[in-house]
């Protein structure tokens, strides 16, 4: 499972949101760095640190049910040689529930490891309900 | 004002929290990169982008009053050549109000620019009230 190689931070991000939609715990954990310094803040949640806390939080979320789709918008990306930082809006829709929801704002940080790019930080917080639509993200800024 | 040089990301972080305590708008903006790709999420707020939105948000916060102290704890830091990512707990105390408050969780991202290290991302969200005290942060992890 963790032999998956992501050649870019964007590949890791795509896999992260695919795993989230599919409630695929192994797929989710294959995105995270095998490192105790990873951390994850779910919306309105505390900071979780390390493989065990992060894995069990996703296990709990995924046990809660499937059927949610997430569409990513408004990406801003800053990339160095070793670290990439993405900010996105996560737009969730739940089957059978057409109500519009405020997006979740996520800061995602990726690290270039010997096993490809992996996530080390996911910080998500709910945007206020009155959030106006922002313009689509600009192309990623490359520093090197 | 923006001629201030921060030799390390930690120097920029120290200046950020000093400016926040002092409600010093120029000091605050001297920490941020002079870049339109900066962004700032205040607790429960939307994502603000660019110098103008970020500056006016701090102006509004600082106009709201002084007297708050902030103590930083539980720092985790990951540093590359060009980008450093810090996660901290911000512990606010307000003069004359001894009630314990839940910390704010902040992800701070710094960029090495020609003018020294500058902040490019501040993502803050309130931790749940029942957050238990976490151990003090480990020493920063250096990647290069």
Q: Indicate yes or no: CB of B125 within 8 angstroms of CB of A37.
A: no
Positive or negative: CA dihedral B98, B103, B104, B107: positive
Domain assignment of residue B70, yes or no: yes
Task: Reply yes or no on whether the pLDDT at A126 is more than 80.
Answer: yes
Q: What is the torsional sign of CA A21, A23, A24, A30? A: positive
A49·B76 Cβ contact <8 A = yes
Q: Which residues of B touch A107 (CB under 8 A)?
A: 41, 107, 109, 121, 123
Q: Which residue has the higher pLDDT, B80 or A125?
A: A125
Whether the Cβ atoms of residue B54 and residue B34 lie closer than 8 Å to each other: no
Is A100 a residue whose pLDDT tops 50?
yes
DSSP string, chain B: -TT--BSSHHHHHHHHHHHHHHT-HHHHHHHB-SSTT-EEE-TT--EEEHHHHHHHHHHHHHHT---EEEEEEEEEEEE-SSEEEEEEEEEEEETTB----PPEEEEEEEEEETTEEEEEEEEEEEPPTTPPPPPPPPPPEE--
Inspect the interface and report whether the beta carbons of A47 and B85 lie closer than 8 Å: no
Record the pTM: 0.88
Helix (H) or strand (E) holding A122: strand A116-126
A119 within a domain of the structure (yes/no): yes
Q: Judge: B80–A78 Cβ closer than 8 Å, yes or no.
A: no
In a 13 Å sphere around the CA of A123, the CA atoms on its Cβ side amount to 31
A52: containing domain? 9-124
- Is B84 within the bounds of a domain? yes
Sign of the dihedral defined by the CA atoms of residues A40, A43, A45, A46, in that order: positive
* Residue B93 in domain: yes
**ipTM of the complex in this document:** 0.86
Please say if the pLDDT value at position A3 is more than 70: no
Judge whether B109 lies within some domain. Answer: yes
- Is residue A116 in a domain? yes
Q: Is residue B1 part of a domain?
A: no
Q: Which residues of A59-71 are buried (b: 16+ CB within 10 A; e: fewer)?
A: eeebeeeeeeebe
Is B2 a domain residue? no
* B102-142 tens-digit pLDDT: 999 999 999 999 999 999 999 999 999 864 444 444 455 55
Closest partner CB to B143 (pick from A82, A89, A131): A82
Question: Do A109 and B78 lie within an 8 Å CB cutoff?
Answer: yes
Number of domains chain A contains: 1
- CATH classification at residue A50: 3.10.450.50
Chains A–B, number of C-beta pairs less than 8 Å apart: 114
Q: pLDDT, tens digit, for every residue of A64-90? A: 876 689 999 999 999 989 999 999 999
Chain A residue at shortest CA distance from B126: A44
> Cα separations (Å) of A142 from A8, B21, B110?
13, 33, 15
> Which residues of chain B does A143 touch, with a Cβ-Cβ cutoff of 8 Å?
82-83, 111
């Amino acid at each position: 499972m963790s032999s998956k190689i992501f050649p870019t931070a964007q590949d890791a991000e795509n896999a992260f949101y695919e795993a989230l939609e599919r409630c695929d715990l192994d797929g989710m954990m294959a995105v995270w760095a095998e490192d105790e310094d990873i951390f994850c803040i779910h919306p309105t949640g505390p900071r979780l640190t390390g493989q065990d806390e992060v894995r069990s939080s996703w296990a709990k979320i995924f046990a809660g049910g499937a059927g949610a789709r997430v569409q990513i918008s408004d990406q801003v990306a800053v990339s160095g040689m070793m670290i990439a930082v993405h900010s996105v809006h996560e737009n969730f829709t739940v089957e059978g529930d057409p109500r519009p929801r405020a997006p979740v704002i996520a800061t995602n940080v990726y690290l270039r490891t010997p096993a490809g790019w992996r996530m080390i930080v996911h910080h998500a917080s709910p945007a206020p309900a009155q959030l106006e639509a922002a313009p689509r993200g600009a192309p990623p800024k490359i520093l090197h």
